[in-house]
Structure 1
Amino acid sequence: MNDRSGTVRRLRDTARPHVRRARSLWRKTTAGWTRFRRSPRTRRGAMAAAIVLLGTGAAAAGLALVGGTSADIGPFDTTVALAPDVDGETVVNIPPLGDIVFDSHDGPIALNLSLDSIDPVEAQTIMNTPDGFTVAAQNLASDVTDAVIRVVVEALAIVTLCGLLVGALAFRNMRRALLTGVTSLAVTAALVGFAAGTLRTESISQPRYEGLLTYAPSVVGSAENIAENYEEYVGDLQQIVTNISGFYTLAMDMPQVGIQDNSIRVLHVSDLHLNPNAWHLMETVVGQFDIDAVADTGDLNDWGSEQEAEIFSQGVAQIDAPYVFVKGNHDSATTVAALSAYDNVVILDGEVREIAGLRIGGVADPTFTPDKGSLPSSDYVARMLTESGERLAGAIEEAGGADLAMVHEPPMAEPLAGVVPLVLAGHMHERSVEDLGDGTTLMVEGSTGAAGLRHFTSSSTMKMEMDVLYFDPVTKALTAYDSISVGAGDETDVTLDRTVIPTDEQVEGDELQGGAESTAPQQD
């Protein structure tokens, strides 16, 4: 016991000087930190850091708040804005077609230019006046410069104001608030100066396209070796003014009657025939036009093989909308099974489902004829098609009506006259609209896949075709539709044609079914 007590005393005596030194070191350290913290130099440094931090944050917030300035650039009414962006690009937005992006300078500020509308009178004057394009191109460069200067001045004013407000709220001191505002101004001016210092005029010859413009690089035209001399620069600007004027007039001057912000939008596609570009185009249109559902009227494949089905159907996963499908004569049970594995796919075969607020009925093509050399008799095929249409008509009547129906071959639509206001079909690889009578319209889609491999063996030019259908959210009647055609192969043209349905010609599904209550199951 005594030995243990002696050991404890020896350890305590040994540790005591170390503890004293540690306490002394701690007191010196804390005293030094206290002196450092309380010194005027430290306080000034901390205050300066706070001002810089808040000023920089206010500059970023101010840039984000800048709504842009309206500017007339050539025949275009535009909105020009600055925005924080790591890449520091110039983005020309042409709604609803997409963007043209130029790698014009380094970040962290981007220049966004949105074409809001076009003055048709001025555009026509440019086209009809001798040397009109030369003068317009010369003025275009000046207009862009003036617009950029104006938006920069506005941005500097707004970020300065943001800095003043943030400084006043944070410090409640006029001098420090002014310093915060000046910091915001200086940071923004430095960023703008950096962007101007890294300007790459040659970037106009290397545009990147997004949206539907991906399929129409001819919008900007051939702009190689731009900025080598002024004449070439003016010539390329002429091409830009010419092509964008025509293309933008087409997109923005379409009638808006019959289309509401909350219209139900359905993308009608058909006959993809293994063309992978069709998936990319559909994905673009679904995002660009805010599509609520896609209606595919069949012929996804060519031969209906397991390899085709498993590989090609994978593209449906990139479509961000319900994908409603009816089997075509080139699709097999394997095709249908492969599509059914995806959560966004709805297969219709003699039933009615409520999708995106619309009651949609559909039936599969009863034939499977991938080999044109071994077709059944035409009378037998006609009878099968008619019976399938009758089966769908019965299903629609039993469900209490539908807003539209989907079939693959047009003859299947004949029994649906007077049963449903709108029938979508495909198969013909040629777009058409037909009045079936009794308040029913048949819309036949062209080939969204440009007929697939047939495109390369056909003597006629094929296009990738699809339609955006607009439905009234209350009556569910078709009010308008946009017909989109995209050049396939070596072609790069895109056309949009809007058709508005007169109010007195719009037919509701309930009108044909006597207002019966629908029993169609709903699809989220």
Structure 2
Amino acid sequence: MNLTRWTQKARGLVSGRVARAATVVAVALAGAWLGISLAGPVRAVVGPVEAGMSAELSLTGETVVDAHPLGTLKFDTHDAPIRLRATLQNINTERIKALLDDPRLADRLPEVLEQELSDGVGRLILRVILCGLAGGLIGCLIVFRRPRAALAGLLSAVVMIAGIGTATIVTYRPDAVVEPEYTGLLAGAPSLVGDAESIVTKFETYRGQLAKLVNNVSQLYDTVSALPVYDADPTAIRVLHVSDIHLNLIAWNLIRSITAQFKIDVIVDTGDITDHGTGPEDNFVKEIGNFGVPYVFVRGNHDSKATQRAVARQKGAIVLDGTSKTVAGLRIYGLGDPRFTPDKSVAVDSDLESLAALGREHGARLTQAAEPIDLVAVHDPTIAKGFSGSVPMVLTGHSHARSTEMLPSGTRVLVQGSTGGAGLRALEHDEPTPVTASVLYFDRETRRLRAWDDITLGGLGEQSVQIQRHLENDPGRTISPEPTISPSPTGSTAGTATP
């Protein structure tokens, strides 16, 4: 009986201690979080920029550069639960002039920026540690009013901060600086982090990109009324990929703006420029002749043969349907969609295997072509995958959702969303369909894709814009046929657009 009583007392004592320890840890972590949140920014001078640097606990680890009022740049630099934020507070115009006028100072800019940035980050880390520890210690003192509990809380805060710091170091990705996500007005400055030459050939040089970032942000502030594209690369071939305009006039405004801002060499439209392919809709395509650059078009399942002929009549238009042509230095092959879904009197074969077989048939022809094809344009992603192993790059659309996939053969398939926001179909869903387009950068000598910018505008009733930059990891990869021909996967996006 006594043994049972002592056992119950021991269990109660242990459970009580565990509960008290858990409470101490919870209070300490809450106090550390509050201390970090109240720490405030550290003022840092980085080149001509005066910035406030701060840290805050967050579910997603990232680095945010707030260039108010121009917008923000987000970098996926780490996976730890802490967000690093740099807010540009002031620009030293005298130092800007010194950087622009003195070549020797400009050459030393990367080293200067590294040192000044390191100093600022070091002071931020020290402040975060001190404020976090102080928060955990003070929180436990206030709640428990005992030195032992306060010391336990301090130890808990040490463990938390050390864990976050270790996770940040382990998951740190310095290359993320070359793949920023732009929001706000900065979306109008696509070359803010490096010019096209840097994107294509120098993106591994972190220090140079850092210098370019600070220097160009400085110039943006100095001339805030205009957001120019800096140092346009004269050798890169710039391709604008649009698709599924569906009679939306906003697409023409977007295409006109991107063509001028990004110095586009050729526009590639992967179909569904109209909705029903009727004669009255042909007037819509007349805007094509005003862009001043070649407009390559392949027919979509909403475009009739009459639509195709109307496009072909426009100045600068190049219609490809089982044919190829060299445009702006790229050999492009195009194939119109075999279906015309608005015409209900005509049988429509939307069987996925039939579409895939069509793509494989034309892909096999390209492998035997006398002149290699650099780029293929089709409307349906299932047909696009049939070209696997025959070309390095295929552009497609139809699904109204942007995606990209590197096939086992080395062929990249880029599925564009809807440059017209799906037209009137945008009213059929709770959320509006975004307006999308992409700028692709091709090396003029190898004619291989090196990088691309995905441009996204908010859909109907929304006002937002962002640009996401991507780099091609292995632009010189070997393209070879896949070992076996397998049917198109059942999860294909083909057919998801309204027929």
TM-score range, shorter chain: 0.5 to 0.7
Deviations 1:89-146 (A, max 9, x none): xxxxxxxxxxx9xxxxxxxxxxxxxx9x99x9xxx7764xxxxx9xx4xx67xx68x8
What is the aligned counterpart of 1:361 among 333, 352, 363? 333
CA positional deviation for 1:458: 1.7
SS in 2 for 1:337: helix
CA positional deviation for 1:397: 2.7
Look up the match of 1:341. 313
Tell whether the 8 Å contact from 2:395 to 2:415 is kept in structure 1 after alignment: yes
Question: Closer, same or farther in 2 for the Cα pair 1:399/1:278, shift >3 Å?
Answer: farther
SS in 2 for 1:316: helix
Look up the match of 2:464. 493
SS in 2 for 1:420: coil
The code of the aligned residue for 1:506 comes to G
CA positional deviation for 1:257: 3.1
Instruction: Please give the residue correspondences for 1:59-78 in structure 2 after superposition, counting only pairs within 5 Å.
Output: 72=48
CA distance in 2, matches of 1:354, 1:282: 22
Look up the match of 1:278. 251
Tell whether the 8 Å contact from 1:421 to 1:440 is kept in structure 2 after alignment: yes
Deviations 1:30-50 (A, max 9, x none): xxxxxxxxxxxxxxxxxxxxx
What is the aligned counterpart of 1:287 among 260, 268, 272? 260
Matched, 1:462 2:433: yes
Tell whether the 8 Å contact from 1:424 to 1:445 is kept in structure 2 after alignment: yes
CA distance in 2, matches of 1:303, 1:296: 17
Matched, 1:298 2:271: yes
The code of the aligned residue for 1:257 comes to I
Look up the match of 2:403. 432
CA distance in 2, matches of 1:244, 1:428: 27
Moved more, 250-259 or 406-415: 250-259
Instruction: Please give the residue correspondences for 1:124-203 in structure 2 after superposition, counting only pairs within 5 Å.
Output: 127=87, 136=89
Name whichever structure is richer in helix by fraction: 1
CA positional deviation for 1:247: 5.8
Residue segments in structure 1 that go unaligned for 5+ positions in a row: 1-70, 77-99, 101-114, 128-132, 155-241, 513-524
Residue segments in structure 2 that go unaligned for 5+ positions in a row: 1-46, 53-68, 76-83, 102-181, 202-232, 482-499
Fraction of identical pairs, as percent:
36
Tell whether the 8 Å contact from 2:421 to 2:434 is kept in structure 1 after alignment: yes
Tell whether the 8 Å contact from 1:257 to 1:500 is kept in structure 2 after alignment: yes
Deviations 1:397-426 (A, max 9, x none): 324320111110011123311111111110
The code of the aligned residue for 2:320 comes to L
SS in 2 for 1:383: helix
What is the RMSD computed on CA atoms of the aligned residues? 3.8
Look up the match of 2:25. none
Deviations 1:371-409 (A, max 9, x none): 689873543x64256325513541563243201111100
The code of the aligned residue for 2:272 comes to D
Question: Closer, same or farther in 2 for the Cα pair 1:348/1:274, shift >3 Å?
Answer: same
CA positional deviation for 1:439: 1.9
CA distance in 1, matches of 2:265, 2:388: 26
SS in 1 for 2:338: coil
Look up the match of 2:390. 419
CA positional deviation for 1:284: 0.6
Tell whether the 8 Å contact from 2:183 to 2:467 is kept in structure 1 after alignment: no
What is the aligned counterpart of 2:447 among 473, 476, 479? 476
Look up the match of 1:506. 476
TM-score (normalizing by structure 2): 0.52
Larger Rg: 1
SS in 1 for 2:324: strand
Question: Closer, same or farther in 2 for the Cα pair 1:125/1:485, shift >3 Å?
Answer: closer
Question: Closer, same or farther in 2 for the Cα pair 1:433/1:421, shift >3 Å?
Answer: same
CA positional deviation for 1:454: 0.5
CA positional deviation for 1:438: 1.7
Tell whether the 8 Å contact from 1:254 to 1:498 is kept in structure 2 after alignment: no
Question: Closer, same or farther in 2 for the Cα pair 1:72/1:451, shift >3 Å?
Answer: same
Deviations 1:323-362 (A, max 9, x none): 0010000000111111111120000011121110011111
Look up the match of 1:203. none
Question: Closer, same or farther in 2 for the Cα pair 1:147/1:372, shift >3 Å?
Answer: farther
CA positional deviation for 1:456: 1.6
What is the aligned counterpart of 1:330 among 288, 299, 302? 302
Tell whether the 8 Å contact from 1:426 to 1:446 is kept in structure 2 after alignment: yes
CA distance in 2, matches of 1:445, 1:266: 13
CA distance in 2, matches of 1:324, 1:249: 26
Tell whether the 8 Å contact from 1:485 to 1:494 is kept in structure 2 after alignment: yes
CA positional deviation for 1:243: 7.8
CA distance in 2, matches of 1:253, 1:449: 28
Instruction: Please give the residue correspondences for 1:7-406 in structure 2 after superposition, counting only pairs within 5 Å.
Output: 72=48, 127=87, 136=89, 252-253=192-193, 256-258=198-200, 260-309=233-282, 311-370=283-342, 376=348, 378-379=350-351, 382-384=353-355, 386-387=357-358, 389-391=360-362, 393-395=364-366, 397-406=368-377
CA distance in 2, matches of 1:329, 1:384: 12
The code of the aligned residue for 1:449 comes to G
Deviations 1:148-198 (A, max 9, x none): 9x99xx9xxxxxxxxxxxxxxxxxxxxxxxxxxxxxxxxxxxxxxxxxxxx
Question: Closer, same or farther in 2 for the Cα pair 1:441/1:493, shift >3 Å?
Answer: same
The code of the aligned residue for 1:495 comes to Q
SS in 2 for 1:437: coil
Question: Closer, same or farther in 2 for the Cα pair 1:326/1:315, shift >3 Å?
Answer: same
